[in-house]
Amino acid sequence: MRVISCILTEHDLRLVLLAAFVAASGGWVAFGLFRRAGEKLGTQRLGWTFLAAVAAGATVWCTHFIAMLAFEVGAPITFAPLLTMVSFVIAIAGFGAGFHVALHDRKAPFPEAGGAIIGLAVAAMHYVGIMAYRVDGIVEWSGGYIVASVVMAIAFGAMALHQAVRRPWTFSHHLALGLFVLAVISLHFTGMTGLSVTPLVTGAQLADPEILVTMAVAVAGVSLIIAGTGVATYIIDSKATEELADLSERLAHMAYNDALTGLPNRAGFSEHLGRELALAKAHGSKLAVVSIDLDRFKEINDLRGLEAGDAALRLIGQRLRQLLQEGEFVARAGGDEFATVKRFTEQSDLLDFVARLEGAVFTPINIGDFQTVTGASLGVAVYPEDGDTEERLISNSELALYRAIADVTRATCFYEAHMDEASRARHTLAQDLRHAIERNELELYYQVQTSIATGDICGYEALLRWRHPVRGMVSPAEFIPIAEETGAIIPIGEWVLRTACREAATWSVPHKVAVNLSPVQFANADLARLVHEVLLQTDLSPNRLELELTESTIIGDKARTLHILRQLKSLGVTIAIDDFGTGYSSLSTLREFPFDKIKLDRSFMTEVEHSQQAKAVVRAVLSLGKTLEIKVLAEGVETSDQLAILRMEGCDEAQGYLLGKPQPIAQILLALTKFGNSKVIAAPHKSVAASRQKKRRQAAG
Ligand code: C2E
Ligand code: MG
Ligand code: MG
C-alpha cells in the first residue's frame, strides 16, 4: 500500500506512465532478441545475446532514469555523471551475463540462475544510479524496503527467464515480459518507498518540472531508438532466414524432381516409396511398384534427334501425371524409364492402374510433323508378397520388367519368384563375370587328345575355368552362355586365345592346342586379325593352333563365317567342328567349310555300347570323314569298351575321362616333361599299349 501511495504522491504520474511504457516496449524488443538468440548456436548466439543485452540494459536503465526524474523530492537534484555511466554499464553487462547463463542449458537451474543474475544486475544498477542521484536534503533509507526490492527483482527476474526459456505454457513469452516489467517496476518503487528526503533550504532553485519531463522524454526516445535498432536487426535477419528457407526449398525441389518432365526423380520416388511402404505396413494394405521402360525411345532419339526425344519424354511424363488418381504416384527413374507406386486393396484396382499406364504409353504421340507410338514394357511387384523392403520391390519389379522386355507378346509382366530368381542369379553372375579377368579368376585346364591307333598324344583342348570368389568353380556350360549374352565373351575369348597360345609355346613337346570359339566372337570381332596378332606375340607356330567352332556359328551368317574361316586357314591354323551330330549336322556344312577335324559329340559315346542306332550314326560320321578326308575325334570317351568300338570302326582320335580329365597347366607341364611325346596321360587301354609295344619292336627290329 505504501508503495502505491508513494507512486501516487511522490512521483510525477506522467513520467511514471512513460517509464512503464519504456519498460514494456523495450522489454518486448529485448525478449524478442533473446528468443532469437535461443534459436541460434555458437557465435550467432553470442551476437544475438549481445543485442538482447543492449536492448534490455538500455530499457531498464532508461526506465530507471525516467522514474528517478519522476520522483518529486521537493529539493534541487543533480546526477553524478560517472556513477550514472557505471549504472548503465552494469545494466548491460548484467543482462549479457544473465542471458548467457540462461541459454547455456535449457534445463533447471540455468534459466532461473540467469534470471536471478538479471534481477541482481537491475538492483545493482538501480542503487548505483541512486548513488549518482544527488539531492540537497537529508536522505534516509529503510533497510527493509531495500532488501525487499532486491529480493523481488531477483525473484521476478528468475521467473521471467524461466518462462522465456522453458516456455511451459502457450503464453509464456507474454508472461515473461510481464514478469520482467514487474521486476523492474517493483524494484524501483519498493526501493523508492524506503527512501525519504528532507529538503534543506539552501537557496538553490528547484528544477523546472517541464525540463525534467523533456529530459525524460529524451531518455525514452534514446531507449526507443536502441530498441528500434534491435527490431530492425530482427526484421533483416528474418528476411534473410526466409530467403534461405526459400532457397533450400528450391534446392530440395531440384534434388527430388526431374527438370525435363517436372516429375519426381529417382530420389523423390525412393522417398515416396519409403513413406508408402511404412503406411502399407501400418495399415496392412497392399502396394504395387510398376517399373516402365519405353520401347522405341532410342529410335526417336536416333532418327529425330535429341529434341524430339525430350519432347516425347515430356509428353509421356505429362500423360502419366494426368492419369494419376488417389494413392498413385509416378516418377522418372532416369533415361526412358519411369517408376510408379500404387496403393490398393483389390487386385482389380491394380489391373485398372496398369491398363491406364499401358493406355498412356501406347497412345500415339505427335512431335512436330511426325506421329509415333513409343510403347513400353511394364514390370509389377507387389507388397507384401513380392518383397517387403524398398530395394526388393524395386529390384523385383525390374526383374519382371526385363521379362516383359524380352516377351514380345506381353507389355506387362508381374513378378514371379521362380522365373525371376533364376534371372537374378544370372544377372549377378553376369556382373561378376565382367570383372573375372582383371581379378585373375579365370584359368585354363587342358584335356588331352589321343590318337586311337597309336595312343600318342595329338594335342590338348584348352577348357576355361572360372574360380568364383564365393561360388567356387563355375562350369563353362553355365557361364559361357551368359558371357555370350552380355558380350563379355569378347574379352574373355581373347584372354583364352592369348593364354592358351602363350602356355602352349612353353611346352617342351610341340603338341597342338585346341581353343573353343564362340559364335559371338565370329560375329563381332576381327577374329583373323586377333589370331594373327596373338600368334605373332606368343611366337606359337600356326600349325600348332586348332580352333573349335560349333555348327551354330555357321548357321548365323554362312557367307561371313566362311570368309573368316578362309582367312584363319590362310594363317596356317586348323579348324575343328565341335559337338558334331547334335545340331544341324548337315552334309553341306562339311562340304562347304574347310574343316580339318570333326569332333563327334560325347552324347554318342554314352549310347554307343548299347544302341545300334548310335553305333550306326558313329559309323556314318566316320565314313563321311573318310570320304571328305577329315579326321574324326570322338569326345567323352569314358570306358575301354567305347574305345575298343571306336578303334574297330576306324576312328582317328579320342578325348575323354578315360584318356585324361581336364587338368591345370602345372600338371600338363609335369606330364610332358615326364613322358615326353609318346604317352597319354591316363593309363592307356591295354590294346593301345600293345600296339605301341608292337610299334616299338618294329622300330627296334
Ligand atoms: P566342349 O568344347 O565340347 O568341351 C568338352 C567338354 O566335355 C568339357 O566340358 C570337358 O570337360 C567335357 N568332357 C571331356 N571328357 C569327358 C568325358 O569323358 N565325359 C564327360 N561327361 N565329359 C567330358 P567343360 O570343360 O565343362 O566345357 C563345356 C563346354 O564349355 C565346352 O564343350 C565348350 O563348348 C565350352 N567352353 C569351354 N571352354 C571354352 C572357351 O574357352 N571358350 C568357349 N567359347 N567355350 C568354351
Ligand atoms: Mg570344344
Ligand atoms: Mg565338344
CATH number at residue 630: 3.20.20.450
- DSSP-derived secondary structure letter, 297: H
Tell me the per-residue pLDDT of 33-43, one tens digit each, with 9 for 90 and over: 999 898 888 88
> Are 210 and 324 within one domain?
no
CA distances from 417 to 344, 354, 365, 400 (A): 21, 20, 35, 9
> Are 590 and 441 within one domain?
yes
Antiparallel, parallel or unpaired: β 663-664 and 472-474 = unpaired
**Which protein residue's CA is at the shortest distance from atom 4 of ligand 1?**
463
> Are 639 and 521 within one domain?
yes
Q: Tell me the C-alpha distance between 453 and 647, whole Å.
A: 7
What is the pLDDT, as a whole number, of residue 339? Answer: 97
Indicate which atom in ligand 1 lies nearest the CA of residue 655.
Answer: 15
**Protein residues whose CB sits closer than 6 Å to any atom of ligand 1:** 447, 463-464, 475-477, 480, 493, 496, 516-518, 548, 578-579, 602, 635-638, 655-657, 662
Mutate which of 516, 530, 642, 655 to test ligand 1's pocket (most atoms within 8 Å of Cβ)? 516
- Least Cα distance to 130 among 74, 222, 193 occurs for 193
Domain holding 320: CATH number? 3.30.70.270
> Are 196 and 300 within one domain?
no
For 568, what's the count of Cα atoms within 13 Å in the CB-facing half-sphere?
Answer: 27
- Least Cα distance to 600 among 647, 526, 674, 655 occurs for 655
- Range 24-60 burial, b when 16+ CB lie within 10 A, else e: bbbbbbbbbbbbbbbeeeeeebebbbbbbbbbbbbbb
> Are 392 and 442 within one domain?
no
Question: Distance from the CA of 465 to the center of ligand 1, in angstroms?
Answer: 10
Q: Are 413 and 379 in contact (CB under 8 A)?
A: yes
Average pLDDT over residues 491-514: 96
What is the pLDDT, as a whole number, of residue 687? Answer: 41
Q: Tell me the C-alpha distance between 521 and 547, whole Å.
A: 12
Bin 676: left if φ > 0, else alpha if -120 < ψ < 50, else beta. left
Domain extent for 87: 4-240
Of the two residues 154 and 135, the one the predictor is more confident about is 154
Ligand closest to Cα of 600 equals: 3
Q: Is residue 246 part of a domain?
A: no
Indicate which atom in ligand 1 lies nearest the CA of residue 464.
Answer: 38
> Are 51 and 158 within one domain?
yes
Indicate which atom in ligand 1 lies nearest the CA of residue 463.
Answer: 38
Q: Which of 416, 635, 638, 649 is catalytic?
A: 635
pTM above 0.75, yes or no: no
Taking each helix axis as running N to C, give the angle between helix 143-166 and helix 81-104, from 0 to 180 degrees, rounded to the nearest 10: 40
Q: Return all residues near 521 (Cβ < 8 A) that are at least 6 apart.
A: 489, 490, 493, 527
Rounded to the nearest 10°, the torsion over CA 479, 481, 558, 576 is 30
Q: Tell me the C-alpha distance between 602 and 656, whole Å.
A: 9
Q: Is residue 654 part of a domain?
A: yes
What is the pLDDT, as a whole number, of residue 691? Answer: 44
Q: Is residue 310 part of a domain?
A: yes
Q: Are 342 and 380 in contact (CB under 8 A)?
A: no
> Are 223 and 295 within one domain?
no
Q: Tell me the C-alpha distance between 154 and 113, whole Å.
A: 9
Q: Is residue 425 part of a domain?
A: no
Q: Tell me the C-alpha distance between 281 and 220, whole Å.
A: 63
> Are 469 and 352 within one domain?
no
Indicate which atom in ligand 1 lies nearest the CA of residue 515.
Answer: 41
> Are 219 and 290 within one domain?
no
Of the two residues 652 and 700, the one the predictor is more confident about is 652
Q: Is residue 300 part of a domain?
A: yes
Confidence of residue 677 (pLDDT cuts 50, 70, 90): low
Whether the pLDDT of residue 403 is over 80: the answer is yes
Establish whether 592 is a catalytic residue: no
Average pLDDT over residues 38-49: 88
Question: Distance from the CA of 463 to the center of ligand 1, in angstroms?
Answer: 6
Q: Are 546 and 653 in contact (CB under 8 A)?
A: no
Q: Tell me the C-alpha distance between 139 and 657, whole Å.
A: 125
> Are 525 and 649 within one domain?
yes
- The C-alpha cell that represents 82 in the structure block: 560517472
Residues with CB under 5 A from ligand 2 (ion): 516, 548, 578
What is the pLDDT, as a whole number, of residue 388? Answer: 93
Confidence of residue 701 (pLDDT cuts 50, 70, 90): very low
What is the pLDDT, as a whole number, of residue 201? Answer: 67
Question: 345 in helix, strand or coil?
Answer: coil
Taking each helix axis as running N to C, give the angle between helix 686-700 and helix 640-649, from 0 to 180 degrees, rounded to the nearest 10: 50
> Are 274 and 173 within one domain?
no
Ligand closest to Cα of 482 equals: 1
Q: Which of 205, 240, 275 is a domain's end point?
A: 240
- The C-alpha cell that represents 269 in the structure block: 520416388
Phi, psi of 264 (to 5 degrees): -60, 150
Q: Is residue 281 part of a domain?
A: yes
Q: Is residue 257 part of a domain?
A: no
Confidence of residue 148 (pLDDT cuts 50, 70, 90): very high
- Most confident region among 26-35, 196-205, 285-294 by mean pLDDT: 285-294
Asked whether the bond before 384 is cis by omega within 30 degrees of 0, the reply is yes
Average pLDDT over residues 545-550: 96
Average pLDDT over residues 513-528: 91
What is the pLDDT, as a whole number, of residue 394? Answer: 95
Whether the pLDDT of residue 665 is over 60: the answer is yes
According to DSSP H, which parts of 13-133 are helical? 13-39, 42-70, 81-104, 110-132
Whether the pLDDT of residue 527 is over 80: the answer is yes
- Least Cα distance to 514 among 540, 485, 492 occurs for 540
Q: Is residue 651 part of a domain?
A: yes
Residues with CB under 5 A from ligand 3 (ion): 578-579, 635
What is the pLDDT, as a whole number, of residue 671? Answer: 81
For 500, what's the count of Cα atoms within 13 Å in the CB-facing half-sphere?
Answer: 30
Question: Distance from the CA of 72 to the center of ligand 1, in angstroms?
Answer: 117
Query: Structural domain tally of the chain?
Result: 3
Q: Which of 416, 449, 482 is a domain's end point?
A: 416
> Are 678 and 648 within one domain?
yes
Phi, psi of 493 (to 5 degrees): -60, -40
